[in-house]
A and B are shown apart, each in its own frame.
Chain A
């Protein structure tokens, strides 16, 4: 059974720091992995999607890597800003069974302090 874990659960950093959020999954048989951002009580915004054949994706100050064999993904945020404060969730789309639903981590709650 696929399980997704995110570490740390919460992170507080001063503005300007570079930071790394971690996501691990137990079954490497995935189609893709997605990183999302969620503001308190709000919707989910897709940040980056990495296909299983890819190693990384970049969007602006965000860079996500995928090491499928070790079941790990990292989200790197460069030069963090207070506006980056949110919960970051990763989710995998497994190959096993019906492959359309996502399996989610519990998220990392990020606070960037001015």
Chain B
């Protein structure tokens, strides 16, 4: 069965650079979520999109932005990177309109900011 795809899997950037993370949800899923997980921490919700519209916003810094495209893939854009942005970034998708809402996670992108 198709799973959530994230790219790249690993990314190394310098401070003040920008990064773009991509997420391809499971086909037919209508909702995409972005989470950030620091070392030894639980995942922190950043932002979600339902049917290409932003549906909820969590602890996403103003330096970050995200969008969902017509093909339902989503991109998380991160600018003016800081050392503290080093983390695992997960994308998840779910089929909310069918009521179950189970979230399926991608393998994550490990971002390292030097």
Interface size range on B against A: 20 to 34
The answer, yes or no, to whether A32 is at the interface (CB within 8 Å) is yes
In the complex, A29→B22 CA distance in Å?
33
- Give, as a whole number of angstroms, the nearest-CB distance from B30 to chain A: 10
Q: Find chain B residues with CB under 8 A from A99 CB.
A: 101
Interface residue count for A (Cβ, 8 Å)? Answer: 23
Instruction: List which B17-41 residues lie within 8 A (CB) of chain A.
Output: 31, 33, 41
- Give, as a whole number of angstroms, the nearest-CB distance from B106 to chain A: 6
Instruction: Give the total number of A-B pairs whose CB atoms are below 8 A apart.
Output: 59
- Give, as a whole number of angstroms, the nearest-CB distance from B14 to chain A: 22
Instruction: List which B48-66 residues lie within 8 A (CB) of chain A.
Output: 48, 50, 55-56, 58
A46:B105 contact, CB within 8 angstroms: yes
In the complex, A73→B98 CA distance in Å?
24
The answer, yes or no, to whether A42 is at the interface (CB within 8 Å) is yes
Q: Which of B41, B56, B104, B108 contacts A101 (CB 8 A)?
A: B56
Instruction: List which B61-114 residues lie within 8 A (CB) of chain A.
Output: 88, 90, 92, 94, 96, 100-108, 110
Q: Find chain A residues with CB under 8 A from B88 CB.
A: 41
B56:A43 contact, CB within 8 angstroms: no
Q: Which 4 A-B pairs have the closest CB atoms?
A: A104-B42, A44-B105, A43-B107, A98-B56
Residues of chain A touching chain B, judged by Cβ–Cβ distance below 8 Å, are: 31-32, 34, 36, 41-46, 49, 51, 89, 93, 98-102, 104-107
